Amino acid sequence: MTEQSGPSTQQIVEKVWLSIAERRLRPGVQLKEEQLATIFNVSRARIRQALTVLERDGLVTIIPNRGAFICKPSVEEARDVFFVRRTVERCVIERLCVSVSKPNLRRLRDHVAQERIANAQDITTDIIKLSGGFHLLLAETVGSDFLFTTMRDLISRSSLITAVYRNTNRFNCGPDEHAEIVEAIANNDAVKATHLMAHHLDHVESELDLSEIRDLSHDLRAALS
């Protein structure tokens, strides 16, 4: 096998990410290099690269001489992540209300339209990706690498927290609330837009049950298939 065959590092990262977001991979589960290399039909070197990215994104902990494990966020960490999101996303919204460009507004509206299509067709993987993606796109359109990188980290951690603590099987931030936020930004109404975002994050956090760890699959192959 050559290094070029099989899925790319990013594809492996996305597959693991989605399996976590869809609650098929449980926090605490060990990601064994050899087993993953067999499942994805790639070299162990590529698996190691993917694990390094997952560690950077806060989804995996690598313990020397023991291996890589899906992180297990505590209730305190879950609350902290949402606390930071409120602060960062408020800043993102305030800036957008001052400076959003027409092309970026179009991108935001197009994104919400994609979310509506995914919802109508009930495509879980798209719904999960697009829901988090909306918040990332807001940060991206501000044009600050730091805010974007910070949000990417926060969204990854939020996905893991949602996977562990979510009350229901739905993963949908909700295109309706996203659409309202976009229209408030379009009207340069920072008061309304920041209020809507705060309400939206309250709503997302309220759907978490921050009192118990859910029982999810231990089976790597079944979770990644």
Contact between residue 216 and residue 28 where contact means Cβ atoms under 8 Å apart: no
Nearer to Zn ion, 33 or 115 (CB): 115
In the complex, the smallest distance separating the C-beta of residue 170 from Zn ion, rounded to whole angstroms, is 12
Residue nearest to Zn ion (CB): 173
In the complex, the smallest distance separating the C-beta of residue 201 from Zn ion, rounded to whole angstroms, is 8
CA pair distance 15, 128, nearest whole angstrom:
13
Q: How far is CA 109 from CA 6, 70, 116, 129, 142, in A?
A: 35, 34, 11, 16, 15
Number of Cβ within a 10 Å radius of residue 150: 17
Nearer to Zn ion, 60 or 173 (CB): 173
93 binds Zn ion (CB under 5 A): no
Nearer to Zn ion, 13 or 173 (CB): 173
Count of residues interacting with Zn ion (CB under 5 A): 1
In the complex, the smallest distance separating the C-beta of residue 173 from Zn ion, rounded to whole angstroms, is 3
DSSP secondary structure, 176-215, as one string? HHHHHHHHHHHTT-HHHHHHHHHHHHHHHHHTB-TT----
In the complex, the smallest distance separating the C-beta of residue 194 from Zn ion, rounded to whole angstroms, is 14
In the complex, the smallest distance separating the C-beta of residue 134 from Zn ion, rounded to whole angstroms, is 6
Provide the token pair at 31: 């990601």
- Binders in 157-196 for Zn ion, by CB under 5 A: 173
Nearer to Zn ion, 110 or 219 (CB): 110
In the complex, the smallest distance separating the C-beta of residue 13 from Zn ion, rounded to whole angstroms, is 22
SS (H, E, C) 128-186: HHHHHHHHHHHHHHHCCHHHHHHHHHHHHHHHHHHHHHECCCCCCCCHHHHHHHHHHHH
The contact set with Zn ion (CB under 5 A) reads: 173
